[in-house]
Amino acid sequence: MKFVSIFTLFIINTNFVFAQINSSSSFMLQTNIGTSSPYWFHTNQNGIIDDSGLGSYLAFESNYSNTLKNNFVLKYEIRPLVRVSSNSAIIFPIVNVGLSYNKINILAGRFNYKELHKLEKLRTGSFVQSRNATPIPKIELNTDFIYIPFTDEFAKVKGSFTHGWFEENRTVENSFLHQKTFYLFVGREDQFHIYAGLVHSVMWGGFSKIESVGNIPESFNDFIRSVFLGRGGDDAPINDQNYYQGNQLGIYDVGISFKKKNWDVELYKQFLFEDYDGVVLRNFQDGIIGITLEKLKVNASNRLIKGVNYEFIYTKYQNGPTDPEDPNKTSLGSGRDDYYSHVIYQNGWTSYGRIIGNPLITVRPSREFDQYLIENNRVVAHHIGLEGSLSDNVDYILKTTYSNNHGRYLEEQRAENNSEEYKFEPSLKQLSLFIKLIKQSQKWEHLQFSAAIASDIGELYKNSFAIQIGVKRQL
């Protein structure tokens, strides 16, 4: 992070060379009141909200960009936060610097993954990377959409290539992140269009606290194997030699979008893969199916509903419990895909104990780091998100999520083998509710007030009800 600090100082102290400066800053004070924090209070908040109950948060946000005369753009984003709760801390969930030229961008630091889908704040979150965990430090080279030559601006592509570093307090310390994306967009932005993309992430390298594993190779050849779904070399852990190098995870992301009357409609599907089963779509029924509707023109008569999102989340199949010809699961494509978990990287697809991807897959309540952290990855859920305005200066966001949770194949099998009761037998049903009102002050134009209530009712989480009060000031 020294690079980030030096780069930021460079930006601040070289204003004289810039032709255009854009900046915005704000302070936010928020208090949560309740016996525990309901799901939609602490979920998709960059890992900053304490999920244990009462808490107050003072946050500062600053975005800054400077355009050079030769079309280079330097920018930074910083969001420090003070949390006062049973787990008090000073956090920097977002802090990054970037350099752009035309449609090419380089970013360094902690920053959010940007999805292609609309109305992200109403959705449950991507299967690869949502806003549920604090972003890990990384360096990324990415592009904006670039038109393909000779297509009359009818087809365009974008992509990214990322290297990151996971935190140390894990079963595998000092492991790396590799992530790449590629999207193809065909059609007209203001008419009917389709898109298809690949998002591929790998957790690789590091030192395992499992005595039989120890150091995991990190050579350039190991990096190449991780990037291109290769099997591990002779010095890799036996699991990597049998399957793929590292903990592989990704999605095929496809969708269509079109205008219908006064609505912008998007239909999408995310196919999740973690091994050969998913890569060849043997578990095609698993993933997210969603639809969003966003109002194109808003006035006083139709402002009540501006945006709608519905998602159906299904991760129960995982190519079945096992392949009868391979009950020990020692070959590619033998079922029990065990999403977000891994036999070596036992903390799974998490950062600081929080799910990096879709948060409907859950971790153990204790969040102990010396065991498999993923507790529940076989989920069937329905989710609805709404946003709109009640008046000229009062907006609202509403979310309701119902899930049926079946745990993990491997834990179910272990309980059966040991003649033990299994927590997720029968499956645990859960309802999570959230509504937030945001009022823009008419007397003090720089002030914005908010109030929210949320509740959990069911068997997966502790039944809870909480209130959130906040005020935000633009500087």
How big is the chain, counted in residues?
475
pLDDT confidence of residue 134:
94
CB 379 within 8 A of CB 360: yes
Q: Which of 192-201, 236-245, 411-420 has the lowest mean pLDDT?
A: 236-245
CB 325 within 8 A of CB 20: no
SS3 at position 376: strand
274-279 mean pLDDT: 76
Tokens of 362: 């859950």
Phi/psi of residue 35, nearest 5 degrees: -75, -30
CA distance 457 to 136: 32
Q: Within a 10 A sphere around the Cβ of 131, how many other Cβ atoms?
A: 21
pLDDT confidence of residue 13:
42
Domain boundaries, the chain: 1-101, 112-467
The CATH number of 112-467 is: 2.40.160
pLDDT confidence of residue 19:
52
Give whichever of 7-21, 53-67, 95-109 has the largest mean pLDDT: 95-109
Q: Count the helix, strand and coil residues of the chain and give each as a percent rounded to the nearest 5.
A: 10, 50, 40
Beta bridge partners of 453: 435, 467
Residues sharing a CB contact under 8 Å with residue 269, sequence separation 6 or more, in sequence order: 253, 254, 255, 287, 288, 289, 290
Residue-wise pLDDT for 159-187, tens only, equals 999 999 999 889 999 999 999 999 999 99
Of the pLDDT bands very low, low, confident and very high (cuts 50, 70, 90), residue 11 is very low
CA distances (Å), origin 425, targets 110, 377, 406? 39, 14, 7
149 or 34, which is more confident: 149
Residue-wise pLDDT for 227-260, tens only, equals 988 888 888 888 788 878 889 999 999 999 999 8
Q: Check whether 423 has a pLDDT greater than 50.
A: yes
Of the pLDDT bands very low, low, confident and very high (cuts 50, 70, 90), residue 12 is very low
Q: Which residue has the tokens 């966001």?
A: 397
CA distance 448 to 134: 25
* Of 469, 467, 380, 461, the residue nearest 39 (C-alpha): 461
Q: Check whether 51 has a pLDDT greater than 50.
A: yes
| Mean confidence (pLDDT) of the chain | 88
Residue-wise pLDDT for 307-342, tens only, equals 999 999 999 998 877 654 554 544 544 677 889 999
Alpha helices in 408-471 (DSSP H): 409-417
* Of 24, 37, 18, the residue nearest 462 (C-alpha): 37
Q: Within a 10 A sphere around the Cβ of 150, how many other Cβ atoms?
A: 7
266-295 mean pLDDT: 89
Of the pLDDT bands very low, low, confident and very high (cuts 50, 70, 90), residue 221 is very high
Q: Check whether 212 has a pLDDT greater than 50.
A: yes
Q: Check whether 16 has a pLDDT greater than 50.
A: no
Residue-wise pLDDT for 397-415, tens only, equals 999 999 999 999 988 888 8
SS3 at position 87: coil
* Of 126, 127, 131, the residue nearest 111 (C-alpha): 131
CA angle 239, 240, 241 (to 5 degrees): 90
Max distance between CA atoms of the chain, in angstroms, equals 73
CB 98 within 8 A of CB 105: yes
pTM: 0.89
Beta bridge partners of 67: 20, 73
* Of 272, 159, 180, 281, the residue nearest 223 (C-alpha): 180
pLDDT confidence of residue 183:
97
* Of 308, 326, 332, the residue nearest 398 (C-alpha): 308
* Of 395, 394, 360, 387, the residue nearest 374 (C-alpha): 360
* Of 206, 211, 288, the residue nearest 247 (C-alpha): 206
CA distance 454 to 468: 8
Residue-wise pLDDT for 139-150, tens only, equals 999 999 999 999
| Rg, the chain, Cα only | 23
